[in-house]
Structure 1
Amino acid sequence: MKVIFYTREKCHLCTEAKEILNVLQNDYNFEIMEKNIDDSDELTEKYGLMIPVIEMNQEIVQYGQIDYYTLSKRFQKKVNPS
């Protein structure tokens, strides 16, 4: 599974979100594809006020203040859909 992580430099929320994603990689098998929104005007316009943004299967699963519990529950649903 691939997770797209939209971020930007000097973003403390992004740093915290990256740490959470790294911890979750121990429980769920996924690859993190990090995209700096400042590298693209289109991404900056789309996600500028939302970052960090975590996308899985072309769906935004969480953005802004990322928390371990909520993100973990979303991973469980994606990995083990009921």
Structure 2
Amino acid sequence: MTRVVLYGRDGCHLCDEAREVVRAVCAETGDEWTEVDIDAGTVPGSSDGRDLVDELGELVPVVEVDGVRQGYWRIDAARLRRTLTPAGPRPLA
């Protein structure tokens, strides 16, 4: 299952930068990711009817993990890494 979705559009230099961040972090964590062009309409395979241009047009690039928005415009590699890395064992209280 793809956990990470990068929403972007052609000709967006911030999207190019975000793609490299997502690619590198997901390579480290082993998570699958996909990229969606918001100008193509709705999310492929989705029936939720989201209009991506209206929803995300001013924010791209946008990264979601498990359906939760994690960042937009400039994607922070450290934050994405923390989100994707499971918490270690918790000490007993």
Q: Same fold (TM over 0.5)?
A: yes
Question: What is the TM-score with the length of structure 1 in the denominator?
Answer: 0.84
Instruction: Give the share of equivalent positions with the same residue, in percent.
Output: 30
Unmatched 5+ stretches in structure 2: 43-50
Residue 68 of structure 1: how far off its partner (Å): 1.6
Matches within 5 A, 1:3-82: 3-40=4-41, 42-76=51-85, 79-80=86-87
- Contact 2:29–2:81 (Cα < 8 Å) also in 1: no
Which is helix-richer, 1 or 2? 1
Residue identity matched to 1:65: R
Moved over 4 A (4+): none
Which is strand-richer, 1 or 2? 1
State how far apart, in whole Å, the 2-side matches of 1:29 and 1:64 are. 24
Residue 33 of structure 1: how far off its partner (Å): 1.5
Q: Radius of gyration: which is bigger?
A: 2
Question: What is the TM-score with the length of structure 2 in the denominator?
Answer: 0.75
- Contact 2:9–2:38 (Cα < 8 Å) also in 1: yes
RMSD, aligned α-carbons? 1.9
Unmatched 5+ stretches in structure 1: none
